[in-house]
Structure 1
Amino acid sequence: MTDDTNARIDALVKDNKVLLFMKGTPLFPQCGFSSRAIAILDHLGVSYESVDVLQDQGIRQGIKDYSDWPTIPQLYVDGEFIGGSDIMMEMYEAGELAELMADKGIAKAG
């Protein structure tokens, strides 16, 4: 990964309270895992930003190196890597994801 790509990813992660690196967009997710991640965030009703990794090969590979996590989507909250869609689902079902959002003061979308 180039330093430039790493710096861009780092800036995105730090500049957005809730950020989802995904395949596609929230309106048109391009894989089932990204679709599920969006559904979870939408159900929680939180404001979030997304990055379509299909639009940028550097970020598509770079985010895997950045997080040391092999798959996309990837969720970051308050600059911290949370996990992919399976971890999001487990946390959501246990009530932990809603609790995390509340603890971090993440505002409801509205």
Structure 2
Amino acid sequence: MSADLNTEVHQFIDGTIKNNPVVLFMKGTPDQPRCGFSSLVVQVLDHLGVEFAGVDVLQDNDLREGIKAYSDWPTIPQLYVKEEFIGGADIVRELFQNGELKTLLTDKGVLEA
């Protein structure tokens, strides 16, 4: 990956996270997830009624590698809420099951109490 491309990808990721309250970097799209982990996070967000931007990392290998470097997290999907990296599928599932995800989304003003 060239330095220019790396910067371009980094700027795209940064802009996407800053311009959307909730962003899911995922394999596939919210309507057609292309892996079970991405599907799980989409189902959790849909269940909670969260509007989110889904970014398909399968469309661009530089983006797929870039988001891993950006977050210093090795797997996809990756969930961001109000510019904060929340985690991947296992963390989202755990936070959802113990009620912390709904609390976090409410505290950040994404969901109404």
1:21 maps to 25
Highest CA radius of gyration, 1 or 2? Answer: 2
CA distance in 1 between counterparts of 2:81 and 2:47 reads 16
Q: Which runs of structure 2 are paired with 1:93-104 in the superposition (5 Å)?
A: 93-104=97-108
Please give the root-mean-square deviation of Cα atoms over the aligned residues, in Å: 1.1
Query: Hey, which bits of structure 1, 4+ residues long, moved more than 2 A?
Result: none
Q: TM-score, normalised by structure 1?
A: 0.94
Mapped to 2, the partners of 1:83 and 1:107 lie a distance apart of 18
Partner AA of 2:45 in structure 1: L
Secondary structure, aligned partner of 1:50: strand
For structure 2, list consecutive stretches of 5 or more residues without a partner in the other structure: none
What is the TM-score normalised by the length of structure 2? Answer: 0.92
Q: Residue type matched to 1:40 in 2?
A: V
Q: Which has the higher contact order (CA 8 A, sep 6+)?
A: 1
Structure 2 residue aligned with 1:92, among 74, 96, 101?
Answer: 96
